[in-house]
Structure 1
């Protein structure tokens, strides 16, 4: 689809990180579709910024596999490639396993309660077919563990590769597999609350690794 005609109402002094996040989210949620050409001048006008932060954002998106950028040629939204989704999924699953191992010994009751609340919202979103809300709740649930772990290197890896997984995950949450994730989350939370680090880490890995690559 073309660049939206209506500006998103963002501050003209957007930092480059904000431009990156806007573009990343627009690709993940399907505003910009696979194969669509991204012209930095049009995007800059849409966001109300100069072309420089847009170009920087596109380079970052290319590192994470969300766009294909070729010098002197057009930049397009990456197709949903099964191999690349599998590769990103494997890395993300491994990082969440590490996050659980580091976080479980530090979790408080309040943080476990946050995870439970996020899963309630996740279940409701899946049931109602609200994929965007399901993805937000899923991110908040796993984000508790990532935040508690406090591993900055892990966070940077997840920031780079999670968006590629989220694109494919939208298809999962539109299907019966999304409902199975509710039970996986419940088990993860139960094990975290019980301090069963190894088993919780295994469930976290399986939860992410069970994501099926699209178009296989």
Structure 2
């Protein structure tokens, strides 16, 4: 669908990060569809910022694989590329395994409680078929160990590649196949509570590999 007509979505006092997040989220949630042309003028009007943060945001989005640019000709929302999504899945899954490995020895009761609360919100969102809320709760769940790992490099990698996967995960969480993630999250929490690092890492691996069958359906 075209760029939304709402003007001034992002305050003029906010810069490139806000423009990046707004365009990224519109791509991930499908507001900006695969293959859609992105015009600087339309984005400037929608976001209420100058061309500079919009262009910087588009450069970051190109690095993340969410847009494609041919200088002087066009910028489009990247089509779903199964090879790129597989690569992002492998890297993202490995980073979440590393996050659990590094965070688990220091996870406190409050952080485990935050994971349980996020999973409860996740289950409720799936029950209500609220895909946006499910994705947000899933982010909250996995963000706990990622933050507790205190590994800035790990978080930077996740920031770059997670949005690529979220475009596909919207399909999974909109179907019954996404319901299995609730039990997988419970298993991760259970192994963390037991202090079982290898068991927790294995549970995280299972959780992130559930995306692979969906990728098979996208392969021509």
Instruction: Please classify the TM superposition score into its range, dividing by the shorter chain length.
Output: over 0.9
In the TM superposition, what are the counterparts of 1:66-77 in structure 2 within 5 Å?
66-77=66-77
In the TM superposition, what are the counterparts of 1:83-162 in structure 2 within 5 Å?
83-162=83-162
TM-score by length of 1: 0.97
TM-score by length of 2: 0.96
Structure 2 spans left out of the alignment, 5+ residues? none
- Distance in 2 separating the partners of 1:176 and 1:82: 22
Aligned alpha-carbon RMSD (Å): 1.0
- Distance in 2 separating the partners of 1:9 and 1:175: 31
Higher deviation after alignment, 144-153 or 9-18: 9-18
- Distance in 2 separating the partners of 1:10 and 1:56: 15
Q: How many residues align?
A: 216
Structure 1 spans left out of the alignment, 5+ residues? none
Deviation at 1:66, TM superposition (A): 0.5
Higher deviation after alignment, 78-87 or 158-167: 78-87
Per-residue CA deviation, residues 42-62 of structure 1 (Å, 9 max, x unaligned), is 101111111011011001001
SS state at 1:19 partner:
helix
- Distance in 2 separating the partners of 1:92 and 1:70: 28
Per-residue CA deviation, residues 80-135 of structure 1 (Å, 9 max, x unaligned), is 11111111111000000000000100100111000001001100101110000000
Give the corresponding residue for 2:4.
Answer: 4
CA pair 195-8 structure 1, distance change in 2 beyond 3 A: farther
Deviation at 1:8, TM superposition (A): 5.4
CA pair 9-62 structure 1, distance change in 2 beyond 3 A: closer
SS state at 1:38 partner:
coil
- Distance in 2 separating the partners of 1:73 and 1:200: 48
Q: Show structure 1 runs of 4+ deviating over 2 A.
A: 7-10
CA pair 129-8 structure 1, distance change in 2 beyond 3 A: farther
Deviation at 1:209, TM superposition (A): 2.2
